[in-house]
Amino acid sequence: MTGPLMAYAADQLKERFTVHELWKAEDKAAALAELKDRVRGVAGGGAHIKIDGALFDALPKLEVVSNFGVGYDNVDAAEAGRRGLIVTNTPDVLTDEVADLAIGLLLATVRQLPQVDRYLREGKWLAGAYPLTTSLRKRKIGIVGLGRIGKAVAHRLEAFGVEIAYHGRSRQADVAYRYYPSLVEMAQDVDTLVSVAPGGDSTYRIINAEVLEALGPNGIVVNVGRGTVIDEPALIKALQDKTILSAGLDVFEDEPRVPAELIALDHVVLLPHVGSASVHTREQMGQLLVDNLKSWFDGKGPLTPVVETPWKKA
């Protein structure tokens, strides 16, 4: 195990396997040297230890990496694929939870719910009503990354009667929403961006100053994907200069370190990466991590391999 997992998953792993908690080792290099001929699987949790070529070199008997989370930018999956290793993640089980949170964060940002709560608690209602806010009514929503979670967000947004568009690597034949191959062009035509895009080189800071400028002074950005998708300095400047109206963020570029400039802004909503953070969903994610390892070592292959390490049963 490269990082701590909730007891629900960790206890099951310890019942079935000999588990080495690498993140606890004071001298990790020495621990890896001692384990190099024994470790065949990795349970990856969090960003405590990078799961990359260096770790693969240290564990020559490694066969499979089971990652906790649908995102796996902490794992060099491409390198794993080149070496014939299997990497799995935990899709689907967190889709609804993250989509629910995205809608909640969008509403909280649009209607300034945290700010309104503080207004009441500070006794300011006694002096007068809270100023009117913007509304979700008549907003045009552009979804960045229409994968499983993006589709679930779009499905929920349909109930609000808003216009929906999306940007991604390619047009999807099974959806009726308008597709934009250019993120800037979509930003020009919508006033709200909801990013559910994964991390990685292909999405690094794609929501940049040009996109924010195109979004305009009524624009709102919500991010429940990966913090690296947004150019944070550009976002901070756009919020300070009122180039856009507001932002609701559950993810950041260098977690858990959030820029002081963002925290100082009262017209944004900031959450500590809690998109899937319910007991129910984290237990389901942990169970899928465990089930992937059990299935692999039972000779049945992985349950949810990532695209970089596809699996075909012999």
d(CA 31, CA 39): 11
Looking up residue 14, the CATH number of its domain turns out to be 3.40.50.720
Count of domains observed in the chain:
2
The sheet carrying 41-44 orders its strands as 41-44, 64-67, 86-88
Q: Are residues 235 and 252 in the same domain?
A: yes
Q: Are residues 213 and 146 in the same domain?
A: yes
Q: Are residues 214 and 224 in the same domain?
A: yes
d(CA 285, CA 92): 9
Tell me if 76 sits within 8 A of 49, measured CB to CB. no
What is the pLDDT confidence band of residue 314, given thresholds at 50, 70 and 90? low
The answer to whether position 307 is within a domain reads no
- Helix axis angle for 279-297 and 7-16, nearest 10°, is 20
Tell me if 70 sits within 8 A of 94, measured CB to CB. yes
**175 burial via Cβ count (<10 Å: 0-12, 13-18, 19+):** middle
- Among residues 97, 226, 232, 253, the one annotated as catalytic is 226
Q: Are residues 83 and 102 in the same domain?
A: no
The answer to whether position 309 is within a domain reads no
Q: Are residues 253 and 132 in the same domain?
A: yes
Residue 2, pLDDT score = 95
Q: Are residues 72 and 221 in the same domain?
A: no
Q: What is the mean pLDDT of the chain?
A: 96
Domain span at residue 223 reads 95-270
The answer to whether position 149 is within a domain reads yes
- Among residues 178, 205, 273, 308, the one annotated as catalytic is 273
φ and ψ at 302, to 5 degrees?
-75, 150
198 is written with which tokens? Answer: 């994964």
92 is written with which tokens? Answer: 């689907």
pLDDT over 90 at 157, yes or no: yes
DSSP state of 245: S
Tell me if 165 sits within 8 A of 141, measured CB to CB. yes
The answer to whether position 23 is within a domain reads yes
The answer to whether the bond into 256 is cis (omega within 30° of 0) is yes
pLDDT digits (tens, 9 = 90+) for 25-63: 999 999 999 999 999 999 997 767 899 999 999 999 999
Distances (CA, A) of 186 to 167, 192, 212, 222, 278: 7, 10, 11, 15, 33
Residue 282, pLDDT score = 96
pTM over 0.95: no
Task: Give the Cα-Cα-Cα angle 248, 254, 256 (nearest 5 degrees).
Answer: 75
Q: Are residues 87 and 234 in the same domain?
A: no
- Residue corresponding to tokens 């990652």: 67
Instruction: Pick the closest to residue 102 from 71, 57, 144 (CA basis).
Output: 144
Torsion of CA 86, 149, 109, 73, to 10 degrees: 10
Q: Are residues 72 and 119 in the same domain?
A: no
Q: Are residues 141 and 221 in the same domain?
A: yes
The answer to whether position 308 is within a domain reads no
d(CA 130, CA 255): 33
Residue 312, pLDDT score = 84
The answer to whether position 304 is within a domain reads no
Tell me if 226 sits within 8 A of 198, measured CB to CB. yes
pLDDT digits (tens, 9 = 90+) for 63-77: 999 999 998 989 999
Q: Are residues 236 and 199 in the same domain?
A: yes
- Among residues 34, 158, 255, 267, the one annotated as catalytic is 255
The answer to whether position 136 is within a domain reads yes
Q: Are residues 245 and 129 in the same domain?
A: yes
The answer to whether position 306 is within a domain reads no
Residue 48, pLDDT score = 74
Q: Are residues 176 and 35 in the same domain?
A: no
pLDDT digits (tens, 9 = 90+) for 86-107: 999 999 999 999 999 999 999 9
Is 34 catalytic? The answer is no
Is 255 catalytic? The answer is yes
